[in-house]
Amino acid sequence: MSDQDLIYNWNGSESDLASGVLLHDETLRDGIQDPAVVDPSVADKIDMVRGMDAVGIHSVDLGIPSAGRRAFAHALELANDIVAERLRIKPACAGRTLVADIEPIARLSQKAGIPVEVMTFIGASPIRQAAEQWSESSILARSVEAIDFAVREGLAVTFVTEDTTRSHPTLLAELFKAAIDTGATRLCLCDTVGHATPNGVRALVRFTRDIIAEHGVDVRVDWHGHNDRGLALANSLEAIAAGADRIHGCWLGIGERVGNASLDQLWLNLAMMRGTLESTSDLRALRALCEKVSDATRTPIPADYPLMGANAFKTGTGVHASAIFKASSRGDQDLADRVYSSVPASLLGRRQEVVIGPMSGLSNVRYWLRQAGLPDTPGLAAAVLEAAKQSDRNLSDTEIRHIVQTVSRGAAQ
């Protein structure tokens, strides 16, 4: 049977929706602002950027060069490596709406001999204005000055309004129009504290696109979301549906406080929406990149993390294991890999794992024995299952092997 015969897709066709959407990496800037991570060495960062390029990430924020000598040196080495390796990924750097922050980006671009996108940011919400004691006129003046400087340096500019999702539309309209008139080619909408719901995302993206349409210019829209309410991925997908052109994220969802939208999950969902997931070999490269980021930032991957976690393709439930076991017993490994997985484990170089615990059935034990290369002798599976039913957790492989050895010795006597 074909996939269409086996799976009815209520999602419908989403290929047009996902077509042309770009992914922007913020791991080396927003990601390392995570209070629990380590700022990787420049060698690790180079490996990470190469990995991003390998899986088709459009652009990467190399950091904030004005933050200090180390930050500038790392960003320059990364830009140099992009040139030397002829990578397709486009470099960007962040800076406040201050000429003093933009000048190091221009200098870095000149030294590396490659265009570097300027992502210049300023808070626009009333609550941020109150904290900083900024006036709306000062925000506007600073924004125009920074954008104008970058444009005169020959650099593409993305104008980033921090806390966009809590900002007043009157000020946003004024800022966006001024940014477009000054030469910004992208407007980045930020859910800086994870305030937005999908409804708010949709309204904000459409509001921004209407302003761009009024100007009749080719200015693109970025979406940058945080996960404070657990909505970063959903909001990013909603931004795509509403017309955002480029979505920001960090590998493994790291970032300020509880993190940013997960870039690996965004990548996965876009690939599935486009229908390209199984026609690409990039999933293994994606897995390698996530593991690299985990190691370099000292960020353990949670066991229940989608796709990459230890439990992503593991089940201890009898009904689930039974379906996997039946398909496998008929030699239909493809069916066994899909019946309880939306993403086949084999695409990542992994396999379906069945564990044995209090919710298990005989199929769990028989599948486990088969995977371990052990014979299912009379009474063995029942003995293992009985021990599992008396437990309050899944049995470890060591415990199962001990039971197998005990039963085998008893049968031999």
Distance CA 187, CA 208 (A): 8
Q: Does position 367 have pLDDT exceeding 60, yes or no?
A: yes
Q: Does position 66 have pLDDT exceeding 80, yes or no?
A: yes
pLDDT grade for 412, boundaries at 50, 70 and 90: low
pLDDT for the residue numbered 282: 80
pLDDT grade for 44, boundaries at 50, 70 and 90: very high
Convert the pLDDT of each residue in 369-385 to its tens digit: 999 998 888 889 999 99
pLDDT grade for 31, boundaries at 50, 70 and 90: very high
pLDDT for the residue numbered 411: 66
Residue 328: burial class (beta carbons within 10 Å; 0-12, 13-18, 19+) = buried
pLDDT for the residue numbered 276: 84
In the chain, the domains with their CATH numbers are 15-297 (3.20.20.70), 314-412 (no CATH)
Q: Does position 74 have pLDDT exceeding 60, yes or no?
A: yes
pLDDT for the residue numbered 3: 65
pLDDT for the residue numbered 9: 87
Single out the residue of 56, 18, 30, 1 nearest to residue 289, CA to CA. 56
Convert the pLDDT of each residue in 210-246 to its tens digit: 999 999 999 999 999 999 999 999 999 999 999 999 9
Average pLDDT, the chain: 94
pLDDT for the residue numbered 6: 85
Phi, psi for 242 (deg, rounded to 5):
-85, -10
Model pTM?
A: 0.93
Q: Tell me the average pLDDT across 99-126.
A: 98
CA dihedral 28, 30, 35, 39 (to 10 degrees): 10
Q: Does position 156 have pLDDT exceeding 90, yes or no?
A: yes
CB of 15 closer than 8 Å to CB of 273:
yes
pLDDT for the residue numbered 1: 55
- Which one has a higher pLDDT value, 315 or 408? 315
pLDDT for the residue numbered 32: 96
pLDDT for the residue numbered 409: 76
Please list, in sequence order, all residues whose beta carbon lies within 8 angstroms of the beta carbon of residue 273, skipping any fewer than 6 positions away: 11, 14, 15, 17, 18
Convert the pLDDT of each residue in 302-356 to its tens digit: 999 999 999 999 999 999 999 998 999 999 999 999 999 999 999 999 999 999 9
pLDDT for the residue numbered 48: 98
**What are the structure tokens assigned to 180, written together?**
């477009």
Alpha helices in 189-279 (DSSP H): 198-215, 232-242, 263-274
pLDDT for the residue numbered 5: 77
Distance CA 206, CA 116 (A): 28
